[in-house]
């Protein structure tokens, strides 16, 4: 059985995908209803199991809600890139920019940030958890950083930082 701490963790994961607390709760409840009898007893094993169900259900729902989706969930961005996965580590933003940045990100970009900042995963671990090639994750990190930089330039405020040495 998942304890309160695990449920909060899963709720935050749901929020990373949905960017809405009510929808995140629904997503978590749905996943629990579907998965409980099959989920591993061990909480540490159950969490990624429930996360994978939440992820699949979110993507299914997104595709149904958006007949002409602008967001791609396919691994078609696996071109070789020379990116240091630590580029995000040195990025600095203004306090008030967080909400705006999260609003302009796509679900999988927010998910990536969640895994990196909250769960403390490396690019390799994120790749394993999301069942994506590492190159895809690195591409997303690159695009994420570009997006954050562009947002900074458009607001002309608050962000500094560069690639790690």
Task: State the residues that interact with other proteins by CB under 8 A.
Answer: 1-2, 4, 7-8, 11-12, 15-16, 21, 24-26, 28-30, 32-34, 36-38, 57, 60-61, 64, 88-89, 91-95, 97-99, 102, 113-114, 116-118, 148, 158-161
Least distance (Å) between residue 159 CB and other proteins: 7
Least distance (Å) between residue 27 CB and other proteins: 10
Nearest CB to other proteins, comparing residues 7 and 155: 7
Nearest CB to other proteins, comparing residues 47 and 116: 116
Least distance (Å) between residue 102 CB and other proteins: 6
- Whole-number Å distance between alpha carbons of 89 and 122: 11
CA-to-CA separations, 83 to 62, 133, 136, 140, 143, in angstroms, rounded: 29, 14, 11, 10, 11
- H or E, element range at 48: helix 43-65
Nearest CB to other proteins, comparing residues 90 and 133: 90
- Whole-number Å distance between alpha carbons of 8 and 143: 29
- Whole-number Å distance between alpha carbons of 129 and 53: 12
Nearest CB to other proteins, comparing residues 5 and 76: 5
Least distance (Å) between residue 70 CB and other proteins: 20
- Whole-number Å distance between alpha carbons of 63 and 57: 10
Nearest CB to other proteins, comparing residues 3 and 80: 3
- Whole-number Å distance between alpha carbons of 108 and 59: 10
Least distance (Å) between residue 81 CB and other proteins: 20
Q: What is the dihedral of CA 126, 128, 132, 138, to 10 degrees?
A: 40
């Amino acid at each position: 059985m998942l304890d309160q701490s695990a449920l909060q963790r899963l709720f935050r994961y749901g929020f990373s995908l949905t960017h809405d607390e009510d929808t995140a709760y629904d997503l978590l409840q749905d996943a629990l209803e579907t998965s409980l009898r099959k989920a591993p007893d061990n909480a540490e094993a159950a969490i990624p199991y429930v996360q994978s169900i939440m992820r699949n259900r979110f993507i299914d729902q997104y595709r149904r809600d958006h007949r002409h989706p602008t967001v791609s969930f396919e691994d078609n961005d696996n071109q070789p890139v020379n990116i240091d996965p630590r580029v995000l580590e040195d990025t600095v933003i203004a306090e008030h920019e967080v909400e705006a940045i999260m609003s302009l990100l796509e679900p999988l970009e927010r998910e990536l940030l969640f895994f990196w900042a909250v769960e403390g995963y490396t690019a390799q671990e994120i790749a394993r958890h999301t069942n994506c090639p590492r190159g895809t994750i690195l591409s997303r990190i690159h695009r994420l950083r570009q997006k954050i930089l562009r947002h900074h330039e458009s607001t002309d405020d608050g962000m500094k930082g560069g690639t790690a040495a």
